[in-house]
């Protein structure tokens, strides 16, 4: 009995301390919450209100200006390049015209005939008219023949041996390329020159060997 009585005061003391601590913590939290509410309820000075309003206005104007610039840029691109896909498709007219011309020129039954000459003349007129119409709309052919290969505008499809040209010089145009303003509409498909030094050296060696025999 005495032991139980001795233990009870200690337990009561601990319990009281915990209750006091818990009460203090609650009071501290309530005090912090009250301080926050007081700060929120605290009325801002006119200067602070003006600064806050100026900041909001500045942000709003900046956002409006960004939207305006983006709209202007999109409008310009739509105006300048809106016909990009149409122009690209229209190039098939020139391709078909050139293929038809080559087919007629290679037809032995029409060779040197008067009807062929007149037909080819009409083809040339139509071709020039198309190029003129394209040029008025800033669609221009890419110059290729005898130019150095430029990967930005040309696509090499084959190499052609030619010792009279510097390697990489365009000596054949397979399909004409075009630009629209400062953009590539399609690259030119070309054949470029390459040296024939290896064959030349081998032939020379063979000739020397024959002479020595």
Look up the CATH number of domain 140-213.
2.30.22.10
Distance, CA of 148 to CA of 195 (rounded, Å): 15
Asked if the model's pLDDT at residue 184 lies above 80, the reply is: yes
pLDDT of residue 37: 53
How far does Cα 117 stand from its chain's mean position?
A: 46
| Domain assignments of the chain as residue spans, ordered by start | 2-72, 83-137, 140-213
Of 125, 173, 184, 123, the closest CA to residue 151 belongs to 184
Distance, CA of 84 to CA of 184 (rounded, Å): 10
Which of 36-50, 67-81, 162-176 is predicted least confidently? 36-50
- Measured CA distances, 200 to 160, 162, 204, 207 (Å): 15, 12, 6, 11
Which of 75-79, 111-115, 125-129, 173-177 is predicted least confidently? 75-79
């Amino acid at each position: 009995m005495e032991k139980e009585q001795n233990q009870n005061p200690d337990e009561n003391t601990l319990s009281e301390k915990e209750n006091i601590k818990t009460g203090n913590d609650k009071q501290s939290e309530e005090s912090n919450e009250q301080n926050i509410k007081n700060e929120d309820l605290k009325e801002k000075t006119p200067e602070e209100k003006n600064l806050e309003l100026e900041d909001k206005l500045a942000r709003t104007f900046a956002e409006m200006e960004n939207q305006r610039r983006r709209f202007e840029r999109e409008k310009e691109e739509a105006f300048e390049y809106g016909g990009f896909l149409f122009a690209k498709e229209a190039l098939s007219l020139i391709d078909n015209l050139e293929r038809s011309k080559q087919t007629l020129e290679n037809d032995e039954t029409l060779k040197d005939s008067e009807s062929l000459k007149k037909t080819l003349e009409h083809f040339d007129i139509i071709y020039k008219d198309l190029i003129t119409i394209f040029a008025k709309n800033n669609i221009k052919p890419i110059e290729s023949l005898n130019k150095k290969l430029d990967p930005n505008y040309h696509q090499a499809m084959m190499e052609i041996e030619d010792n009279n040209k510097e390697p990489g010089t365009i000596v054949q145009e397979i399909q004409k390329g075009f630009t629209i303003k400062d953009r590539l509409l399609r690259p030119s498909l070309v054949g470029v020159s390459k040296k024939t030094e290896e064959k030349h050296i081998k032939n020379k060696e063979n000739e020397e060997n024959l002479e020595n025999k």
